[in-house]
Structure 1
Amino acid sequence: MVEYEREPSMHDPQAALAPAAPLERERVRRSVFRAAFLAPLLLFALLPMGLVHLVLTRSPVASHRYLIPRWWYRFALRVVGMRVIREGRLTKDRPLLTLSNHVSWTDILVLGAHVPGCFVAKADMADWPGVGFLTRFTRSIFVKRDDRRNVGEQAREIGDRLRHGEPVILFPEGTTAAGTSLKPFKSSLLGAVRLARPAEDGAMTIQPVALAYVRRGGKPMDERERRDYAAWIDDEEFAPHLTSVLFGKPLTVRLIFGEPFDVGPDADRKRLTRTAEETIGTLLQKGLAEG
């Protein structure tokens, strides 16, 4: 339940501030509880979950392979205090490539909790302390986008996941943005996915998704607040942003599933990239407008 502070009175400013103080103390108390109790519990739970996860990854049912990671992502959303408003649903069509805009590391929690699939991640993430273990635990595919020697191997791994019925989640911007507009989509990323699928595999389904960070503490964010509190740009330090999310006012994000569409093996990657960019841009602006 979202709590709102009362508007200050012009006649008695000191009295008007009184109701806000207990609400702020309660918010901080909840944040400290999440950080002090739930966060360690989330980490310690990785060991028993990992053992079950090893068994489930061998399941012939694709959705079973991501059952434990999805549970972990949903718990993580509680730890950071994020609220997700979902619009639409993930298609049941397979093979499936899910394309989304990219605002912050929290995108991974939101999408991972609702899409039983794997992320395509930058190779250097595998070496990040803590994060590298988590990305491997959640079966991410690591790619070196500037290493052409490994393009074939990386593409084959993507193709294997798609052929085995696992949705693949890709951020076509290739990096994070401020959350109010999109950076140009990279057609090379979609080209790698096309390379992963031989012509005899037939059509593939693409579903565009938009993540719109709309509120902080239950109140609408403007463009500056969205950049300062929701977005995490690549060259920023991780720890300060993590602290801001944990102890700051809770964020609300709209997760908007667009209409899926099929593409054949001969689809033009540049035209496909433009279509995806326009579709996700429209969904993003719709989500921001609805607040």
Structure 2
Amino acid sequence: MIWLRKTRLILLLLRGMLVCATVFPWASIAMRERLIRNWSCKLLKLCGVEVEVQGLAPGQPAPRGAMMVANHISWLDIYVIHSWHPARFVAKSEIRAWPLIGWLCEKTGTIFIERGRKRDAHRVLHHITDVMRQGDLVCVFPEGTTTDGTEVLPFHANLMQAPVAGGLPVQPVGLRYLDAATGLPTVAPAYIGDLSLLQSLDMILRAPPIKVRLTLGPQLMATSTSRRELAESAREVVVHLSAGAQEAAFHVADAFHEPNNSAPRYSGTLRGLAEPSTNNLA
């Protein structure tokens, strides 16, 4: 049956391209967001992935005008976030050249950056600040690479300059993939090592049903700190959110906002930390 699901995924991809080419040019922002969210939900359903959202009260709107930072495990991360609330992702410019996927990313608002070019980095920082001031939610993966989900790597601080310069909030998000039946962590979605995109897709389709837990934490206000301090505290919050330790995440945020800005430091490993105790099914 995997071949049938792959066929349906190809048809969904082609449908997405058709919508981007014919509907997006005249669609309102609200309509675009609705189309992106619906398409992402269908993609995840075909992949056997269920999304569970935590940390957002019922009826509470998604944050806007902020930079979302999250740990990075899989190419699915983008669609997990899109299924909750469409965001503008920041990605390396090489992705724009990928067949089909690069074109779709561009049409759905991805901000591309040429890594290693200082001038382009400045351009992107100004652009990110501008679109956040206009109310957009911009998402970055500050680890700069993917992991198997058992740890959160140090955050690169460069893009944190945008919320610092604009006095805008940072919204930490923790992602964790679980076996839907047992609740235990699964590495099936991990897009790491020498895996190709097709090999990663095969692993996901052959795995038992997957539940991904998306946990929102307290926002960090970047008005009186350096980008490096902001990156370190944001990472600590994400570490706890990824492990389901939401109370500890709030402690880190409270410490960050204190005048001495002396939040405690953690190693970033997820093994042995507590599982989430509250559920908010999306």
**TM-score, normalization by structure 1:** 0.76
> In the superposition, relative to structure 1, how do residues 253 and 103 fare at CA in structure 2: closer, same or farther (>3 Å)?
same
Match of 2:207 among 239, 248, 253: 248
> In the superposition, relative to structure 1, how do residues 285 and 246 fare at CA in structure 2: closer, same or farther (>3 Å)?
same
How many Å separate the matches in 2 of 1:70 and 1:135? 14
Gaps of 5+ in 2: 246-269, 277-282
Number of aligned residue pairs: give it.
Answer: 245
> In the superposition, relative to structure 1, how do residues 215 and 180 fare at CA in structure 2: closer, same or farther (>3 Å)?
same
Offset, 1:239: 1.4
Gaps of 5+ in 1: 1-28, 198-202
2:146 paired residue number: 176
Is residue 2:18 matched to residue 1:33?
A: no
1:119-130 matched pairs, under 5 angstroms: 119-130=89-100
Residue identity matched to 2:88: C
Match of 2:81 among 89, 111, 114: 111
1:18 paired residue number: none
1:185-223 CA-to-partner distances (Å, cap 9, x unmatched) read 11122125545x3xxxxx31221100011216x23445x
2:239 is paired with a residue of what secondary structure?
helix
1:66-105 matched pairs, under 5 angstroms: 66-89=33-56, 92-105=62-75
Is residue 2:231 matched to residue 1:273?
A: yes
Offset, 1:236: 2.7
Residue identity matched to 1:284: S
> In the superposition, relative to structure 1, how do residues 248 and 92 fare at CA in structure 2: closer, same or farther (>3 Å)?
closer
Is residue 2:241 matched to residue 1:283?
A: yes
1:15 paired residue number: none
Residue identity matched to 1:137: K
Residue identity matched to 2:135: G
2:182 paired residue number: 219
Is residue 2:201 matched to residue 1:259?
A: no
Match of 2:191 among 219, 225, 232: 232
Match of 1:154 among 99, 124, 138: 124
How many Å separate the matches in 1 of 2:197 and 2:189? 13
Residue identity matched to 2:240: T
* Cα RMSD after superposing both structures: 2.3
Does structure 2 conserve the Cα–Cα contact (< 8 Å) formed by 1:116 and 1:166?
no
Offset, 1:48: 4.0
Instruction: Specify which structure has the higher proportion of helix.
Output: 1
Find runs of 4+ consecutive structure 1 residues off by over 6 angstroms: none
Residue identity matched to 2:137: P
2:171 paired residue number: 207
> In the superposition, relative to structure 1, how do residues 149 and 136 fare at CA in structure 2: closer, same or farther (>3 Å)?
same
Offset, 1:104: 0.7
2:176 is paired with a residue of what secondary structure?
strand
- When Rg is computed on C-alpha atoms for both structures, the one with the higher figure is 1
1:144 paired residue number: 114
How many Å separate the matches in 1 of 2:18 and 2:189? 32
The percent identity for this pair of structures is 31
